Amino acid sequence: MTHDEDVNKCWVVDFTSGVPDSEGVALIDESDWLCEDSEGKVAAVAIMPVSDDRGEHIELYDSGATCHISPYKSNFALYTVLDPPVYLNTANQQRFPAVGMGTLAIHAPNGGTTSPITLTDVLHMPAIGYTLVSLGALDKKGYRTSIGGRNLKLFTLGGERITCIPQSTHSLYCTTHLGESAHAIETISVMELHHCMGHIAPASACTLVKKNLVTGIKLDPDSQEAQCDACIFVCATRKPVPKMHAGPQAQRFGEEVHMDMWGPSPITSKCGCHYFITFTDDATHYTVTYLLHTKAEALSVYKTFEAWALTQQHCAAIKVLRSDCSSEYLSDAFDQHLKSAGTARRLTVHDTPQLNGMAEWLNRTLVEHIWAFTHTSGLPKFLWGEALRHMTWLKNHMATQALDSLMPHQALLRRAPNLSGLQRWGTTVWVHDADGSKLDAHAQEGCWLGFDTELHAHRVYFSATCNVTAE
């Protein structure tokens, strides 16, 4: 490592050991090799720069590099900033800065398993594309290398094999690690996250990202909270409903379930429904919604919810069902079903919906967000059923004060939700279309309406045909 006085007093590293075989390597241009020494020996390969946040990380095992290099800062366990930075010079006068140094743990393939290898004194160079693993540096640490039969093998000093890497089609020894999400992680602003999360409070949306409660999203640290016209529009006539809770909160799923119905809607939904009904568990605050054509379907959808809760083993039985005194809940058939299931009924006093505050507040919140969705997107109001489906999904993925900032999804399923792939409701998307002739367009324009959790797909509205499909 030498000091170059002619390059702004920065450190310059010259690699002079080893000559990697460049024949047949179509992915690397000759202009991207590092500078040669007086004997014409090539030091290493300069990999073209990529983003550190992409979906895969690649490790290239190089016999010519004299030290380990990596662009993935998030993978460093120990990290020290280099000031001034260390520079590498290329033959075309490009200069790549190493801005930090630290310890990096990699997972190398070893047959059907992987073996952890800890690399020390690794240079962090954001401008390169791959992690370069120096075989020379590993040799100094006591590892032994064996190349033969189109395989690279590493052994400990005691002779134990820790990795076996097959040769690629370009005669390289490299490994690829896919990211945890198939979607590229994009940096978004506070207000864009506010829109994507269904217009929840910007501070609450930021908390989910900053506390690592969700994955797949990176927040722009320079973005600021701003006024949201949609929130002003839907909250202009808002009248708060007092929330009252009778007795202590339930501790397990199914101990108490809150039920309430909304409707009739002045506009028929895409599937011909005028009502929706919500079931919210008191312990986890997890909500399930159903669309109804008439009020008479209340018992049928309750049986569906009950079967789902028991089949998914969320509970052994629903102990208490809380609702208001609406006639759709007081039929003889409904009473008989609850008695046979051993479920106790808790009814509110007439004309006091506040006593069923959780369900009443939820229905009002869902409807307000449906207004926000249709207002900002400009989509037809008959898509309110699709907006309800997506808002219910978002509600289950939002932190709530009643659970000490825990999310209903996390309280029920014991894992943090992944928000990768989340879009603003109604945003324009392009869907691949294989139909048509060779001269026809191979994509159709649609509007994103949310996730289809059963099919693990996206729900898309096509205005040309007025159809909603899972893609």
User: Which residue(s) pair with 275 in the sheet?
Assistant: 292
pLDDT given for residue 49 in this prediction: 44
Q: What is the pLDDT of residue 18?
A: 37
Could you tell me if 141 and 131 are in contact, meaning their C-beta atoms sit under 8 angstroms apart? no
Burial degree of 435 (CB within 10 A; 0-12, 13-18, 19+): exposed
What is the torsional sign of CA 401, 402, 406, 408?
Answer: negative
Share of the chain above pLDDT 90, in %: 23
Q: Which residues have a Cβ under 8 Å from the Cβ of 167 and sit 6 or more positions away?
A: 150, 151, 152, 173
Structure confidence at residue 227 (pLDDT): 84
pLDDT band at 91 (very low <50, low <70, confident <90, very high): low
Please report the pLDDT score of residue 292 as a whole number.
94
CA distance 196 to 198: 5
- Measured CA to CA, the distance from residue 180 to residue 182 in angstroms comes to 7
Asked if the model's pLDDT at residue 2 lies above 50, the reply is no
- For residues 77-103, give the mean pLDDT: 82
Cα–Cα distance measured from residue 390 to residue 349, given in angstroms and rounded to the nearest whole number: 32
Per-residue pLDDT, averaged over 338-345, amounts to 92
Greater confidence (298 vs 238) lies with: 298
Of the listed ranges 165-169, 221-225, 279-283, 291-295, the least confidently predicted one is 221-225
For residues 457 and 402, which has the higher predicted lDDT (pLDDT)? 457
What is the pLDDT of the chain when averaged over all its residues? Answer: 79
Q: Read off the pLDDT band of 389 (50, 70, 90).
A: very high
Q: What are phi and psi of 83, to 5 degrees?
A: -140, 105
Can you tell me the distance from the alpha carbon of 214 to that of 418, in angstroms, rounded to the nearest whole number? 6
For residue 409, give the nearest of 178, 208, 268 by alpha carbon: 208
- pLDDT at residue number 204: 84
Return the higher-pLDDT residue of 20 and 222: 222
Backbone angles phi, psi at 450, to 5 degrees: 130, -170
Q: What is the DSSP string of 301-324?
A: HHHHHHHHHHHTTS-S---EEEE-
Domains by residue range for the chain, with CATH: 2-178 (no CATH), 227-395 (3.30.420.10), 428-470 (no CATH)
- Token pair, residue 399, equals 């932190």
- Separation of alpha carbons 276 and 268, rounded Å: 11
C-alpha distances in Å from residue 180, one per residue of 215, 229, 338, 419: 9, 35, 44, 12
- Residue 269's pLDDT is 92
Is 0.75 surpassed by the pTM of this model? Answer: no
CA-CA-CA-CA torsion sign (280, 285, 286, 289)? positive
pLDDT 10s digits, 144-180: 998 988 898 999 888 899 899 898 888 888 888 765 4
Of the pLDDT bands very low, low, confident and very high (cuts 50, 70, 90), residue 109 is confident
- Calculate mean pLDDT across residues 11-18: 38
**DSSP characters for 334-363?**
HHHHHHHHTPEEEEPPTT-GGGGHHHHHHH
How far apart CA 255 and CA 346 sit, in angstroms, is 12
Higher pLDDT, 204 or 427: 427
pLDDT for position 14:
39
